Structure 1
Amino acid sequence: MRLMEEIARQKDGDRDEEVVSIGGGLPQHVKVVIVGYALTSKKIKSFLQPKLEGLARNKGILFVAIDQSRPLSDQGPFDIVLHKLSGREWGQILEDYRKMHPEVTVLDPPDAIQHVHNRQYMLQDVADLNLSDAYGKVGVPRQLVIKKDPSSIPDAVSKAGLMLPLVAKPLLVDGSAKSHQHSLAYDQYSLQKLEPPLVLQEFVNHGGVLFKVYIVGEAIKVVRRFSLPDVSKRELSKNAGVFRFPRVSCAAASADDADLDPCVAELPPRPLLERLARELRRRLGLRLFNLDIIREHGTRDRFYVIDINYFPGYGKMPEYEHIFTDFLLSLGQSKYKKRC
């Protein structure tokens, strides 16, 4: 349905109070938040589900598709632009749009997104933060960037002092399936079989459980996922080669209802996660992202962030419809208060 068909009246471009037909019922006076979205077809299917759109309409939020064949400034007006498209051209379009329309909230800035699309820099802010308090310590696994020449990897690993096994991840996160294909290398010889550019991370035993921490503005939601099993010294001495596996946090089933060892399954302390999320929102300049976190096996308070994903699969997050619409509404109300 066209935007002008959705909005029955508009006051000179100022949507302080518009008459909007909601859910096909009688018009109601609401302060409409118009969200222009530019998403891949896969993202539209997983994110813009009927329940989300219905709840959004009831709250006065309208999702409007952005036509990529037309200039962005000719479309709208928008209160919020929600996007997840790749490519420099699209990034430049958004940057130009932000400069021309500072009143529009773009979720999120392209330059901030690019930062977490490169695994060389992705975890740097977590490492710099070096978060440690009464609730625990959060760090990152030791890692090494290899940009070319696989034959040099064993020597580079030895010089860096990294311990086997090592998780190998593609350097760039470009949205392709290949960028999420990970490998576990058990021995020095197998390292030469890897394909740079990549990042090598020390594998940290974590009881086969990963915590996926979804962040939507100031809201935080944590779910458990099954992960790779621990690797003992005996297994390490017996195994050789490269074991390839898909992105663990997406491929694995939920572990929320599984019968797990409480020491393994216990969620990270809420105050620790809130502080971590608050700091990373500020440092990364992002409001829509998730953290993949593991707890070092045998500890209760030693955590590692192993990946950061921009605009993750929120459709898999419990109650995402309510959390996301409340977030969009808060952004719209904040803008309205500023205009007043």
Structure 2
Amino acid sequence: MAMRGVLLESSVLDESASVEKLLFRLGYSNLHVVVLFTNGQNPSETEDSLKKWGLSEVVKVVTVGADEDVVEVINKAWPVQASHSVFVTPNDQDAVTRLAESGWNTVYLGQGGVIKASSIIEHVDDVFAAVATLNKRAFGVELLVVGHVMKWSREKDFLKRRALPAVPTSNDLTFVPLQTDRSMEAQLAVVDIVLHKATDEIVNVDTSLQTSDPADRIQYSDSIQRLQRYFAENPDKCIVDPIHRLAPILDRSLTRQVLVDLEDAKVSDTTVVRAPHSCEVKDFVEPHLTEAVKVGFPTIVKTMMACGTNDAHTMAVVFKKEGYENLQVPLPVVIQEYIDHGSCVYKFYIIGDKVMHSCRRSMPNAASMAVSAGASESVPALVFDSLKSLPSSFEGDGKPVANTVVEGDGSLDVEAVEKAAVWLRKKLGLTIIGFDIVVQVGTKDHVMVDVNYFPSFKDVSDKEAIPAFWAALRNAHATKSGSSA
């Protein structure tokens, strides 16, 4: 049976690199979590911290007085069967033997003790791997362990949505956070699938490097490099997704090459689904200036790298030729036609075999942007950060620009875009992809203006997206196992 509860002897928290992160991960992993204080230990500091971190509802504190029976107090506060419970302790205290006799699973931190069948972990953060190992023993090979690496803000968001549970999912997955500051090899011993957001871990991009493999231009963090070496040595292991496949959606020059065939793919007999007209330039002097002007006006100017650099999200809308003079967007750049789209962008999410979408308020039509509130003359160019809203003085269709979910105007051909999504997934060979579609005012062309890897997909219902996410991981493992057979 699955492990459903973790009892932490309070002193083990002192061994965690980040107590907040440890307790947040445990509390939002669908486990029942309690911190145990005995022998006169004062729980007030931990209780205050739990309140400050917003964890009081998912992590409880139990205090046992000197005259109280420790096992009796625990049993009264514990709603999980003993055989489904784990006690993490640094030593053989009074409760260990008695809890073990009741069927509890003991996990020793640092060294073993009287319970010979217990697990031993080197770091308290390895409790997730210990729980996964116990679950693996109970469930057998059908249970797959997913080790994940992503920046903390992203992981925290997924945890809050209960997307990374330690308790097995309905399709027999369990999740373990990988500690990026430690050796990966030992941690990966229990893992069947590695889930990563390597784009969170880019430390440098050398766009000037001449290489036959564009992926060589991207330098990842030490932890991601360790993953790359591990999978190079263990090609039969499953990683979602192979890191070298990310280059085409990190480098906008390569993205252009991917999307050039989209219109020719004829995903619909009635709707044009295409990439924006565009060019690449290394500067804004002749002959490159002429190439830029040929795209037409207005244009949107984007840095070559879509992420991983400090200025990857610096963009500009250029309304006239003079706008290219001293434009503060780092070179080289991709110049795309600016699509008037009624301030509505459709965010599409490919999650394995599922395609979902939402509609967000977006940038206004060009005419609304060209003149700011109270200004009498058009501006030649507008520089902005795409991760933030445009200045509030710029409005589209009478509505403020804001990054909120809105209703579309009914012009979206969902079937055509879903077929384009299938085409894109096959083209890229990736499992979790996001892309943006805008519907051009007038022509109704559906234009794919952006592609990104492993988006949060939080605009769509978690009831649909999270099971699809789990199924995508399971299917990726099945595909990898089948190809390795």
Query: TM-score, normalising length from structure 1?
Result: 0.81
The residue number in structure 2 matching 1:228 is 363
How far apart, in 2, do the equivalents of 1:266 and 1:83 lie?
35
Structure 1 residues 70 and 144, CA gap change in structure 2 (3 angstroms): same
* Residues 337 and 147 of structure 1: CA distance in aligned 2, closer, same or farther (over 3 Å): closer
Q: CA deviation at 1:288?
A: 1.2
With over 3 angstroms needed to count, the CA separation of the structure-2 counterparts of 1:339 and 1:117, relative to structure 1, is closer
Residue 180 (structure 2) pairs with residue 68 (structure 1):
yes
Q: How many residues align?
A: 314
State the Cα deviation string for residues 296-340 of structure 1 (Å, max 9, x = none): 11234x211111011112233322222212222334456678899
CA distance in 2: counterparts of 1:214 and 1:249, whole angstroms: 21
| C-alpha RMSD of matched pairs (Å) | 3.1
Q: Return the letter of the residue paired with 1:81.
A: V
- 1:1-340 matches, cutoff 5 A: 1-8=127-134, 18-19=137-138, 31-54=142-165, 57-59=168-170, 60-76=172-188, 77-84=190-197, 85-87=201-203, 88-90=219-221, 92-130=225-263, 131-132=265-266, 133-148=268-283, 150-152=284-286, 154-158=289-293, 161-175=294-308, 178-194=311-327, 195=329, 196-232=331-367, 238-247=377-386, 252-256=403-407, 262=409, 265-270=410-415, 272-300=416-444, 302-319=445-462, 320-332=465-477
What is the CA-CA distance between 1:2 and the residue it aligns to?
Answer: 3.1
In structure 2, C-alpha distance between the alignment counterparts of 1:243 and 1:58, rounded to whole Å: 47
Distance change (3 Å), C-alpha of 1:298 and 1:5: same
CA shift for structure 1 position 294 = 0.9
Q: Identity of counterpart residues, as a percentage?
A: 22
Letter in 2 for 1:35: V
Q: Provide the rounded CA distance (Å) in 2 between the counterparts of 1:31 and 1:63.
A: 14
Q: Which moved more, 1:277-286 or 1:325-334?
A: 325-334
1:86/1:38 Cα in 2 relative to 1: closer, same or farther (>3 Å)? same
Q: Which moved more, 1:243-252 or 1:193-202?
A: 243-252
Q: Quick one: higher RCO (CA 8 Å, sep 6+), 1 or 2? A: 1
**3-state secondary structure, aligned to 2:276:** coil
Counterpart-to-counterpart distance in 2, 1:311 and 1:114: 13
- CA 1:80–1:215: 2 relative to 1, 3 Å: same
| Structure number, greater radius of gyration | 2
Mapped to 1, the partners of 2:451 and 2:311 lie a distance apart of 17
Q: Which runs of 5 or more structure 1 residues have no equivalent in the other structure?
A: 11-17, 21-28
Compared CA separation, residues 30 and 315, structure 1 to 2 (3 A): farther
Q: Distance in 2 between matches of 1:234 and 1:171?
A: 24
Scaled by the length of structure 2, what TM-score is found? 0.58
SS at match of 2:253: coil
Residue by residue over 1:128-181, the C-alpha shift from the partner in whole angstroms, topping out at 9 and shown as x without a partner, is 232323141211112122224x445643423xx111111111111234563123
SS at match of 1:283: helix
